[in-house]
Amino acid sequence: MSNDKKSGSTGKAIESAIEKAFDPLASAIKRATQPQATTPAPAVPGKPGLKVSPLAVPFPAIPPIGGVEITTARAGFYKHQRDDLTIFRFARGTTCAGVFTRHKVGSAPVDWCRRQLDAPGGGLDVRALVVNAGCANAFTGKAGADAARRTASEVAKRFGCRQRDVMLASTGVIGVLLDDRKISAKLPEVEARLDSDVPPTEQWAAAGRGIMTTDTFPKGSYAEATIDGFKVRIAGIAKGSGMIAPDMATMLGFIVTDASIHPTVLRALLGLHVRTTFNSVTVDGDTSTNDTCLLFATGASGAPRIGRVGDRRLKDFSVALDKVMLDLAHQLVRDGEGASKFVRITVDGASSPASARKLAKSIADSPLVKTAIAGEDANWGRVVMAVGKTEEPVDRDHLAIKFGPHVAAVDGAVSPTYDEAKMSAYMKRSEIDITVDVGSGRASATVWTCDLTKGYIEINGDYRS
């Protein structure tokens, strides 16, 4: 980021602050598009040449979770050397539920999983998950569907289960047909690796790396809970860096627990928590054709089986699951393509939760707001723009805006205590909070996003190369 100090001082006239706030050509855009000063970073397993996000977090330690084994292999969907095939093998009786993109051009693996899980008895005995990176197998018609089916069939033969008990996910370039022969050819190697003695944390970390595309670090999370006195474990990985504005799921997210939970209950839990986690983050406002989040329960913990939605014994588990999902969702934003700022947008005083959410998303998705943040400019006029364009109920004369603890606007006008120097210093932080009160009610919502820098254009300008 540029380190140019912003002009202005504590005594800057209110009129100047107003003029700057509403100037659509504020200097922030120029600063945000200047070459970024970077420090050397190690190579990452995703796209060659990318540097690890400055907002990256370390992969967590994950202890053994009974009933699941994971491995990766190089199937060759990428030209460069990297693992691009990830396979989970589950114990008999593992249950599963999923949420998927509502994109009108869903991928073949999304269609496959939805069909199997929605069928009578679906999700009651899922034995495998196959994930490939480098090819989305989306917008590939009947040929893509056939490739997905053949993949499930080959894995089912190896694992001694039915096709319907194999879940599929793909990520990568849209419009490219999956060459399922590359997966089939690797299955003997995969079986051998699954039977080898690899520490659990490394299994999960390798899986996190194996599903990456333009991600710059593997994303994982872990939590524990109790069900009726029994300790249960929850672990998950996710991938996503661009084309992130999830609609019922994240780009790809896979969560495993050793609890024993019926698919109907798993589905209810996912539906409960996805709205405030994966569906409350955005990088660029674009929803993927392949968004998939799958939750598996192996039952290996010995905890009693939960078969009823609303069972009070799930209270602690529900909290822990939400923690894992929110952690993974935040990591997607931290790895947003070209991102240098992690931003939390909170809207208060809305007429309804839905209205609050729409207002927060409008701010979080605004290119003008995001470039101003990249330029370290507290351009609250752009926030006003993003709020007003939604046509949601807003009381203009009671509108208030804060950046962290600093008040930019109150009662529909610039704050009499506005301090440009303090505001500029706050905007240099790597984590930014923006709070807006629209004065129309009592509802609130929070959405997480990142800034928009020149790096986003560089990454996506040659995505297929």
What are the pLDDT digits (tens) for 267-287? Answer: 999 999 999 999 899 987 666
Q: In the predicted model, what is the mean pLDDT of residues 292-313?
A: 97
Q: Strand 166-171 vs strand 219-227: parallel, antiparallel, or unpaired? A: unpaired
Q: What is the pLDDT of residues 387-396, one digit of tens each?
A: 999 999 999 9
Encode 51-63: b = buried (16+ Cβ within 10 Å), e = exposed: bebbbbeebbebe
Q: In the predicted model, what is the mean pLDDT of residues 159-182?
A: 96
> Catalytic pick from 72, 95, 171, 250?
250
Q: In the predicted model, what is the mean pLDDT of residues 401-423?
A: 96
- What does the pLDDT read at residue 49? 76
- What does the pLDDT read at residue 341? 97
- Which among 295, 92, 86 is positioned nearest to 203, based on CA atoms? 86
Q: Cα separation of 146 and 148, whole Å?
A: 5
- What does the pLDDT read at residue 463? 58
8 Å CB contact between 249 and 287: no
Q: What is the mean pLDDT of the chain?
A: 89
Name the percent of the chain lying above pLDDT 90.
78
The verdict on whether 250 is a catalytic residue reads yes
- What does the pLDDT read at residue 219? 97
Q: SS in 3 state form for the chain?
A: CCCCCCCCCCCCCHHHHHHHHCCCCCCHHHHHCCCCCCCCCCCCCCCCCCCCCCCCCCCCCCCCCCCEEEEEECCCCCCCCCCCEEEEEECCCCEEEEEECCCCCCCHHHHHHHHHHHCCCCCCCCCEEEEEECECCCCCHHHHHHHHHHHHHHHHHHHCCCHHHEEEEEECCCCCCCCHHHHHHHHHHHHHHHCCCCCHHHHHHHHHHHCCCCCCCCEEEEEEEEECCEEEEEEEEEECCCCCCCCCCCCEEEEEECCCECHHHHHHHHHHHHCCCHHHECCCCCCCCCCEEEEEECCCCCCCCECCCCCHHHHHHHHHHHHHHHHHHHHHHHCCCCCCCEEEEEEEEECCHHHHHHHHHHHHHCHHHHHHHHCCCCCHHHHHHHHHCCCCCCCHHHCEEEECCEEEEECCEECCCCCHHHHHHHHCCCEEEEEEECCCCCEEEEEEEECCCHHHHHHHHCCCC
Is pLDDT of 137 > 50?
yes
- What does the pLDDT read at residue 161? 98
46-55, 202-211, 294-303, 414-423: segment of lowest average pLDDT: 46-55
pLDDT tier at 183, thresholds 50, 70, 90:
very high
Q: Tokens 């799958």 identify what position?
A: 294
Q: Is 0.85 surpassed by the pTM of this model?
A: yes
- What does the pLDDT read at residue 464? 58
Contacts of 463 by beta carbon, 8 Å cutoff, 6+ apart: 173, 214
pLDDT tier at 45, thresholds 50, 70, 90:
low
Q: In the predicted model, what is the mean pLDDT of residues 140-167?
A: 97
Q: In the predicted model, what is the mean pLDDT of residues 110-132?
A: 97
Q: Cα separation of 428 and 404, whole Å?
A: 12
Q: Cα separation of 399 and 316, whole Å?
A: 38
Q: What is the pLDDT of residues 217-264, one digit of tens each?
A: 999 999 999 999 999 999 999 998 766 677 655 579 999 999 999 999
187 or 465, greater pLDDT: 187
Q: In the predicted model, what is the mean pLDDT of residues 78-93?
A: 96
- What does the pLDDT read at residue 21? 40
Q: In the predicted model, what is the mean pLDDT of residues 124-128?
A: 98
